[in-house]
Structure 1
Amino acid sequence: MALRIPRKLIEVALPLDDINTAAAREKSIRHGHPSTLHLWWARRPLAAARAVLFAQMVNDPGGVRGWGAYAGQTKEKAQQEREELFDIIRELVKWENTSNETVLERARQAIRKSWQETCEMNKGVAGFDPELLPAFHDPFAGGGALPLEAQRLGLVSYASDLNPVAVLINKAMIEIPPRFANRLPTGPLPGRASQGKIKEFNAAFPGAYGLAEDVKRYGHWVREEAFSRIGHLYPKVALPTVYGGGTATVIAWLWARTVASPNPALSGTHVPLVSSFWLSKKTTNRAWVEAIIEDSNYHFEVRTGEKGPSMEETVNRKGAYCILSKQPIPFSYIREEGKAGRLKEKLFAIVVEGPRGRYYLSPEQYHVATAESAVPSWKPDFDLPLNPRDFKTPNYGITSFGDLFTPRQLVALNTLVDVVADAREKVISDTVKSGGLDDGVSLEEGGNQATAYADAIAVYLTFAISRTADRCSNVCTWDSSPKMEALRNTYGRQAIPMTWDFAEGNPFSESSGNYLNNIDWIVKALQFVSPNVAGFAKQVDAQQQTISKNKVISTDPPYYDNIGYADLSDFFYIWLRRSLHGVMPKLFSTMAVPKADELVASPYRHGGKEAANSFFINGMTQAIHALAEQAHPAFPVTIYYAFKQSDTTDSGTVSTGWDAFLEAVISAGFSISGTWPMRTEMGNRMIGADSNALASSIILVCQKRDIVADEVSRREFMRELRLALPEALEAMIAGRNGVSPVAPVDLAQSAIGPGIAVFSRFKAVLESDGKPMSVHTALTLINKEVDGYFFTAEGDLDAESRFCLAWFDQYAWSPSSFGDADVLARAKGTSVAGVQLAGGLEALGGKVRLLRPTEYPTSWHPTLDARTSAWEALHHLIRVLRQSGETPTGRLLAAMPALAEPVRQLAYRLYTQCERTGRAEDARAYNELIIAWPSLQEVVQAQPVGASQTSIEF
């Protein structure tokens, strides 16, 4: 019997603008966000995950795939019902509604209704029980956003990953909270004297609140017990009378790495490697370090006031120099000294907690001696990976994970591990004393009594150790910017950098990164989980797993070689394992995170790019094939992917990452029934032609390919592509149905979707020699068609703009001869004088050049211009946007309505050209205008009819 499967909403329509707005906003939210449980790289926003899952599970009101419309359903009624589903999504994605049970239950009801409709159409078929909603599975669970949101929407949730750190994060979010939901806390309240060091304690304990409360209480106990053991290593400092006298707690000790001066006359005197002598750039608290030179030696003193440091740095990207001899010090010399173990450290400032903010004090020998007195009982001794892209410290002799920590930092982390073990025993004792039972069954073995509860508390207390380690390594630095004045963490990005001066934080202070502060982050995150439905997290290789059988699947697999999760997470694994090996011996059975089977194309691990590419394609094909074979037939599979197309050759632009991934998806037996560009990346990252940073991921909506799919020729494929792509591109750049335009930086990625959807629906596309077309070739053809779309649109431009575009392609902003310009202008049906009159061109002394946007006259207005070209209008809009913002730019756009569409098309075309030729700053300008376009249109629509535009100042 053939299944009757309704088409899902995600295959037809989405309120994408609302989802993207919520996802972008969420990136700036931290307190309470589950991401604060434990650091993970490239997490998906909860809003996007929630919306995708909901749209993946609810039926589109328009009809059944292959069976036409529902009985009695009109197009108008279908659209009305679709809007009702859109309204649910619009409420669902708001951060304020993350735990709003009224909003969530409305979404759950819609999911249940769709499921019951589907089951009614497939009565008697196994797996279609209207009373039993299918479970969810993510085989590349990573940071856990997708499993968490599936659980929030009412699905029993399964998360699996090869990486034990990812598995533990998922256990902490979806498995542990439901197991211990709605229980009262048993931990001891802190004494009055120290209770103010942690946020106010709760009185009501629904859901995971009791668990969170105990994490808070035992976290406080751990801090106090650890301080009682090693507090002497963190002495207070005497405040000068100018700061009121008395003593203050140290926030951080700032150290400079030093290297022996290569000048023989200095007899090996060590000189500092400092990237900045600034301590605080806040106007009311400016402070810096001065290196006071005395003959052939020096010492450091802290200064305050308006002057600023006499030297900015002693090391930068070009190399270093000796502050005593002024002699250059090349990096090659520093590397040699580092690998020989001859780099040292010198204290250059102390940061303290003052009654009115941060105070900065000169170094004291007592504090140096105290730091040197620390003797750790254990040091991680296995080597950092020889991965030059992501791990820079081995070049300078910092070769093991233990080398990333000072002796005092190692003592602190070891002590916290020891005290967490004591806290676990205390939890068991306190639970039994309060009337609880202890059957001795561990959390890992499925227990839910005192022993298992103690294991669970130990997990969260250890997460706080992980968070502390991230701000407690010797590659952490001090941020002197006015808004921060704080420690930067180890993982500011997905790499361990080499830093020259570093900040050694105090985990017992009350500043950012201290242990209690980290407990508070974890507690807030626990209060936002959804413990009403069971969840399970398992360590399983995605290539071998069978968990997906008859489950709803949404996943975010590794992006080719973008992030080496296994290598990066070893930094945390060493401390998680040391603390929890006895609690979860199966999960922490290996000395390090498993790497051999990690689906990341790492050339250094696989012996070169070609071998790494083959490894990725073969492994990802096997993993995706498992999804195609096992996924519940009632639902499409959704896959997130974000990898910048950046490899441009004469034959076109493609990306090895996209090429390899799509090869795997299609080889696994999937066709692509929908694609959505979704704003899932950090909005404050640099976007430009030389950057691999994207604003969006592409959500691929995948269906198992029909076994009777056709084989077609290359000519037939190209015909289908040329029919489908222009309409899809127009929808993307025009922002139809209330959806914002796709930003130019994301267009190449977004265009892959409809193009590869055409390619993937065929069993094969045959070349002239009868061999199947490769995904690489298909991507090249798709990108050429995208380019062709914009080149065709040039025909709608005025002659002057066509000239400027052609000139820009050849010379950008550089001048060239008048003769060349004259020939080109005649070919475009205009003249140099005509282009100059239309604006944007300068012709002087036999040379012609295009004006940059900053050179355009500020007094210009289209109503006062007899000859306005699209080129001129575009660059005036860029000038006003950068100088004055969106509202004045929108008013300017309103004054030239006939040019709006040519300007928008031209901006896309110019971005593409700049991106391909590596002109990052120019590309950014065109991208910014398109991103702002919806806001500009709102300003345009708000302008009163007949209002005079000439009076507006720009």
Structure 2
Amino acid sequence: MNHEMSSGPRSWKDRPSLIEVAFPAQKVSIETQCERKAGAGQTLTALGGYWKGRKMLVLVRACLLGSLLPATNDIDADLEIFELLMGMDDDAFAHRVKRLSQEDVKRWGGDLRVELLDDDGRWRVKGRDRLRLLGRVLARMPYNERLDRRSFRPEELPEKAFADIWSHVNAHLGTTANSHAELVEQLGVRRFGHRPRVADTFSGSGQIPFEAARLGCDVFATDLNPIACMLTWGAFNIVGADDRFRTAIAKAQKEVTEGVEAEIVSLGIEHDSESNRAKAFLYCLEAKCPSGWMVPLSGSWLISKNKRTCARLVPNTRRKRFDIEIINDATDAQLEASVQGTVRQGEIVYSIDGVEHRVPIRTLRGDRQVGGVSSNDLRRWEKGDVVPRADDFYQERLYCIQWVRPGSDATFFRAPTAADLKRERVVESIVVENLHSWQEAGLVPDMPIEPGEKTDEPIRTRGWTYWHHLFMPRHLLLWACTLKAIRAQPDESVVGALLCLFTGALDKSSKLSRWRVGHAGRPGVAPAGDYPEQVFYNQALNVFPNYAARSWYALRPIVSELPGQAAVVGTANVRTASAAELDVPIDIGITDPPYADAVAYDEITEYFIAWLRRRPPAPFRDWIWDSRRDLAIRGRGEAFRREMVRAYSALAAHMPTDGIQIVMFTHQDAKVWSDMAGIFWGAGLRVTAAWYIATETTSELKKGGYVQGTVILVLRKRGDAKKAYKDELVLEIRDEVARQIDTMIGLNQRTRTHGRSENLFEDADLQMAGYAAALRVLTAYTQIDGLDMTREALRPQDEGEASVINELIEFAVAIANEHLVPDGLEPKVWERLVGAERFYLRMLDLEATGLKKLDNYQNFAKAFRVSEWQSLLASTRPNDARLKSAREFKRAEFGPSDFGSSLLRAVLFAVFEIETEVETDEVMSHLRDNVKGYFQRRPEVIALADYLAGKLATNQPDEAAAARVLRDLVKGERLGA
């Protein structure tokens, strides 16, 4: 037993948590990225892939365990225990190994290679023996390479995979646990006197509450949004359900889908006379142009690359309308021509008798601004409408059907026949006849679309005013049948589970579902099929001129899917409430709050609320089935600050003095971080630790200079009053920011040493870490320069008002940027450079990686205090900004005043002269004249020339060559000659 440990209740009440002292940020980052890469394979994604911005389960588990575990006098041992519990130690990979190739064994196996492979490189052993040996090979690999499709994620491990760790864990902690749940309860008793009570008052789709319950905590989860609460409930009661309840759900799914199938087949609306079954229906809008022609609208007429299928418009002069021909086995020329549709950059483009016609859609719709409000001539649809009226500007047209041949999965495309169109009219007539009664029974939405930032789009561009207008008659019929069958189930908890799963099908069936053309496959990648895309592929209500509807044949597998199982052992309480309405005692709060530019879930989830708000089953009956937009925390400024203070004040008020909060936060705006400082002050909280976790994965994100990670802020209740003066805080912030940046740069270097080509953290991440470090210093004080910071935080502020908090946060990010020495430059050289030189060299470093966003130049100019930064740029285009080269500076242009007389400017001038073939003796003479104290600064000249040569090698090879010549000239000159 660790000699520091005592085992009585609340014996650890005042002991720091491990996460406040140490945290293996690098391993947690790599594990988090691995889970993010799993995409649809993540544990909870199957419940609702439409909910974005999820926090990874492994990160939640790490934060919880880090909050409960104590920091002892042996931090290395503490971290070892943490890694054992997380399944991140080397021995765990004997259980985590999924697959390794023979090439992996040859590279990393060492002496194990002989046991695993014969002389011809084939496997010697099979089954469990092979996995056991592969686990040992895996443990020898660099950590990031172990996880790259070779290992199971920690969240996927069964509890029995941890059977061997408990003697070691118990010896260190003085516990008697044999599972995570038992350990968590014992840790909770030591720290809080009972099993830990964890709250998440911004629960979203439920990752934080779910993982807390999986660890054995008692969980309280709230969200204003009933769809968020339903997803959280589904995490506990579908993914986390026991075998008995999951069997009941599966049985009910089978009954529902078979019942709907029988009804659809009896109606005869998905089969043709040859028993082919419709899989998808492709629609487009039509609009009458000034020429009198009805023109089908689509951004592209390509239907399938794999089947070489496209649509072609054939003018019908008699009807002044286009017939749409479906071409199978199209030629390359036909496929290429079909990519260009009739909607191009906001215009309708079509040709008659070789004459091209163009007309802006805005003009045809009569788009205009009246008193700052957008308006147009589109008729606003009414509650009883399901299809356009004959005189509407936009008509809707079925132009292609994807069919499945009987007895096979083979598909083909065909233009609709007269019989197909007759079936369409049958569907329409059924819906028109039953719409009112369906709406009264809650089987079809009757809810208006309220105007809003996201909901304005379908109203303004299509005239749709009720949520059912977003669905084809075919969808309304299918879902009315489905909901009727679901609600007929006798067990209301099962009904709740089916409704939760039903939202996933809704996400794949509406007029907002665009037609996705599959790719033809690449080496090692199978061809992708052609199908209607999900509605919420991003966080908006996107309308398209052409769209696609899945048939019941295609939707039935989605409705009958049951997500994988992951046992939940803790208790859970889920309800619709604002964060400020917390009214239960908690020990730990873990939140991922809305950011200043958060997704407008309150608006876009009304798409689902409209279907589910009537007659909710017992599990959801006490919830408020409204998005409550007026209460949602969104935006920035005074309202954001006020509501966030209320939210975190409620959390602080309901936790004990030794309670702990974890806030996961991501933002690049210094003003938002300034607001966060004020929020924590106002809520009576202080930041005790901050860790930076790399959570994103794709190199595409890095091209825009986006942040790659999340700051984990650890907070406690603020204790004794502390006072400081601003000049004292400046020094403290400088030291804290420097320590934070050095730690993260060190992680980058270690990661690259282990074979990873990209940094774990990018510049934007390091900037954001500066904010977090500043918060750690600032929130410890209650009074700065005589100002009561709690009162200051709660005081209403005018837009753009400067404040002490703002000033200190801005200072922190400036320090962070000054501390970022570009790769390839010695710190001692960097330290002697002026701001404009640092700006130029830092941006040259970014340009070498392909970053060209003007925002990056603006941010770093601000950080380095370069007011005339634009004079250093050759291009200021938003997405294609670029520094001036040495040749573009020429002789006379010197940029900012401190840049014109700087060492770097002299070096660039010398490079320019070498490029323009000035005699080398003259180049060196000018260089000596231009650099004050030249002979003392020769090493810096060499370093800058070498840096320029490296960074310009790809983008400006001629200039790079000139820089190399200069470097060698300075190196080789004879001093004193």
Output the TM-score relative to the length of structure 2: 0.69
What are the superposed Cα offsets for residues 265-294 of structure 1, whole Å, 9 maximum, x if unpaired?
Answer: x1xx42122011111223xx2221111123
- Distance of 1:160 and 1:490 partners within structure 2: 26
1:37 aligns with 2:67: no
Structure 2 residue aligned with 1:595, among 626, 629, 651?
A: 629
2:949 counterpart SS class: helix
1:53 matched to 2:64: yes
| Alignment partner of 1:28 is 2:65 | no
The alignment status of 1:286 with 2:308, answered yes or no, reads yes
Matched with 1:331 is: 362
User: Residue 890 of structure 2 aligns with which residue?
Assistant: 818
What's 1:524 paired with?
Answer: 563
Say whether the 8 Å CA contact 1:164–1:587 is kept in structure 2.
Answer: no
Given that 1:554 and 1:638 are in contact with CA atoms closer than 8 Å, whether structure 2 keeps it comes out as: yes
Output the CA distance in 1 between the equivalents of 2:189 and 2:657: 9
- Superposition deviation, residue 225 in structure 1: 0.6
Q: CA deviation at 1:787?
A: 3.1
Does residue 412 of the first structure (1) align with residue 475 of the second (2)? Answer: no
Deviation at 1:388, TM superposition (A): 3.2
1:161-206 residue CA offsets vs partner (Å, 9 max, x unmatched): 222222222222225777xx6xxxxxxxxxxxxxxxxxxxxxxxxx
What's 1:727 paired with? Answer: 739
Alignment-derived partner of residue 260 in structure 2: 226
**Partners of 1:507 and 1:359 in 2: how far apart?**
17
C-alpha spacing 1:519/1:868, structure 2 compared with 1 (3 Å) = farther
Question: 1:382: which partner in 2?
Answer: 447
Residue 82 of structure 1, CA deviation: 6.7
Residue 499 (1) aligns with residue 544 (2): yes
Which residue number in structure 1 is paired with residue 294 of structure 2? 270
Match of 1:344 among 385, 395, 402: 395
| Residues 86 and 404 (structure 1), Cα distance of their counterparts in 2 relative to 1, 3 Å cut | closer
The residue correspondences of 1:663-674 to structure 2 (distance < 5 A) are 663-674=678-689
Q: Does 1:659 align with 2:674?
A: yes
| Cα contact 2:770–2:815 (8 A) shared by 1 | no
SS of 1:60's equivalent?
coil
> What do the CA deviations read for 1:219-257 (whole angstroms, capped 9, x no partner)?
122111112223356644669xxxxxx543222111111
TM-fit CA distance, 1:143: 0.8
Distance in 2 (alpha carbons) for counterparts of 1:878 and 1:46: 41
Pair 1:95-2:150 in alignment: no
User: Which letter maps to 1:536?
Assistant: N
Does the C-alpha gap of structure 1 residues 213 and 317 become closer, same or farther in structure 2, counting only changes over 3 Å?
A: farther
Seen in structure 2, the aligned counterparts of structure 1 residues 109 and 297 have a Cα distance that, compared at 3 Å, is farther
Given candidates 565, 581, 586, the residue that maps to 2:621 is: 586
SS where residue 298 of structure 1 aligns? strand
Instruction: Tell me the alpha carbon deviations over residues 42-72 of structure 1, each in whole angstroms, 9 at most, x when there is no partner.
Output: 221112111221212111233xxxxxxxxxx
> What CA distance in whole angstroms lies between the structure 2 residues aligned with 1:842 and 1:469?
68
Where does 1:88-487 land on structure 2 (aligned, <5 Å)? 88=88, 95=153, 97-103=155-161, 132-174=194-236, 208-231=242-265, 235-236=269-270, 246-263=274-291, 266=292, 269-282=293-306, 285-295=307-317, 296-303=320-327, 304-307=330-333, 308-311=335-338, 312-324=340-352, 326-334=357-365, 336=376, 338-339=378-379, 342=392, 343-353=394-404, 355=408, 357-374=410-427, 375=431, 376=435, 377-378=438-439, 379-389=444-454, 391-396=456-461, 397-422=463-488, 424-425=489-490, 454-482=491-519, 483-487=528-532
Contact 1:628/1:670 (CA < 8 Å) preserved in 2? yes
Shift in CA distance, 550/466, structure 1 to aligned 2, threshold 3 Å? closer
Distance in 2 between residues matched to 1:622 and 1:49, nearest whole Å? 24
Shift in CA distance, 730/866, structure 1 to aligned 2, threshold 3 Å: closer
What does residue 191 of structure 1 align with?
Answer: none
SS state of the match for residue 412, structure 2?
strand
Instruction: Map 1:707-722; keep pairs closer than 5 Å.
Output: 707-708=720-721, 710-722=722-734
Structure 1 residues 624 and 35 mapped into 2: Cα distance closer, same or farther (>3 Å)?
same
| Paired residues of 2:87 and 2:154 also in contact (CA < 8 A) | no
CA 252–50 in structure 1, closer or farther in 2 if over 3 Å, else same: same
- The answer to whether the 8 Å contact 1:677/1:696 transfers is yes
1:31 CA displacement = 4.0
Q: Is the 8 A contact 1:476 1:502 kept in 2?
A: yes
Q: Deviations over 1:644-695 (max 9, x none)?
A: 32xxxxxxxx24x433333212211111111122233564764454x8x543
1:869 equivalenced with 2:931 (yes/no): no
Question: What's the % identity of the aligned pairs?
Answer: 16
CA contact (8 A) 2:677 2:778 kept: no
Give the alignment partner of residue 641 of structure 2, picking from 610, 617, 624: 617
Shift, 1:721, TM fit: 1.0
Q: In the TM superposition, what whole-angstrom CA distance separates every residue of 1:486-511 from its partner, at most 9, and x where no partner exists? A: 221111111111211010111323xx
Q: Is the 8 A contact 2:486 2:498 kept in 1?
A: yes
1:902 is matched with none
Give the equivalent residue in structure 2 for 1:747.
766
From 782, 785, 796, give the equivalent of 2:812. 782
Amino acid of the residue matched to residue 23 of structure 2?
A: L
Equivalent residues in 2 for 1:692-711, closer than 5 Å:
694-708=707-721, 710-711=722-723
8 Å CA contact retained: 1:639, 1:699:
yes
- The residue identity in structure 1 corresponding to 2:20 is E
Deviation (angstroms), 1:40: 2.3
CA distance in 2, matches of 1:806, 1:640: 29
Q: Is the 8 A contact 1:413 1:465 kept in 2?
A: no
* CA distance in 1 between partners of 2:603 and 2:828 (Å): 51
Tell me the SS of whatever aligns to 1:61: coil
**Equivalent residue letter for 2:718:** R
> Quick one: distance in 2 between partners of 1:297 and 1:842?
67
CA distance in 2, matches of 1:713, 1:163: 43
2:902 counterpart of 1:827: yes
Gaps of 5+ in 1: 63-72, 120-124, 182-207, 240-245, 426-453, 602-611, 646-653, 845-864, 881-894, 899-954
What residue is the counterpart of 2:143 in the other structure? none
Q: Which amino acid aligns with 1:33?
A: T
- Match for residue 570 of structure 1? 606
Change (3 A) 1:468 1:769: closer
Which residue of 1 is the match for residue 594 of structure 2? 558
**Paired amino acid for 1:664:** I
What is the CA–CA distance in structure 2 between the aligned matches of 1:501 and 1:664, rounded to whole Å? 46
Structure 1 residue corresponding to 2:668, chosen from 609, 630, 644? 644
Contact 1:31 1:524 survives alignment (8 Å):
no
Cα drift, residue 87 of structure 1: 6.0
Q: By how many angstroms is 1:369 displaced?
A: 2.9
CA distance in 2, matches of 1:14, 1:144: 24
Question: Cα offset for 1:813?
Answer: 4.5
Q: Hey, what does 1:942 align to over in structure 2?
A: none
Specify the code of the residue in structure 1 equivalent to 2:733: L
Match of 2:829 in 1: 796
The alpha-carbon deviation at position 393 of structure 1 amounts to 1.1
Question: Are the structure 2 counterparts of residues 627 and 96 from structure 1 closer, same or farther at C-alpha, using a change threshold of 3 Å?
Answer: closer
Q: 1:25 to 1:837 in 2, by over 3 A?
A: farther
Instruction: Please list every run of 5 or more consecutive structure 2 residues that lacks an aligned counterpart in the other structure.
Output: 1-9, 97-146, 178-186, 368-375, 382-391, 520-527, 752-758, 793-802, 845-868, 874-881, 920-941, 958-963, 968-977
Deviations along 1:608-641, one digit per CA (max 9) or x if unpaired, are xxxx632221121011012222224445210111
Q: Does the alignment pair 1:515 with 2:545?
A: no
Count of equivalent residues: 745
RMSD over aligned CA atoms reads 4.1
* CA spacing shift, 1:807–1:731, aligned 2, 3 Å: closer
SS in 2 for 1:524: coil
Answer whether contact 1:162 1:540 (CA < 8 A) is retained.
yes
TM superposition shift of 1:873: 1.6
Q: Secondary structure at the match of 1:557?
A: coil
Give the match's secondary structure for 1:697: strand
- State whether residues 279 and 289 of structure 1, in contact with CA within 8 Å, keep that contact through their aligned partners in structure 2: yes
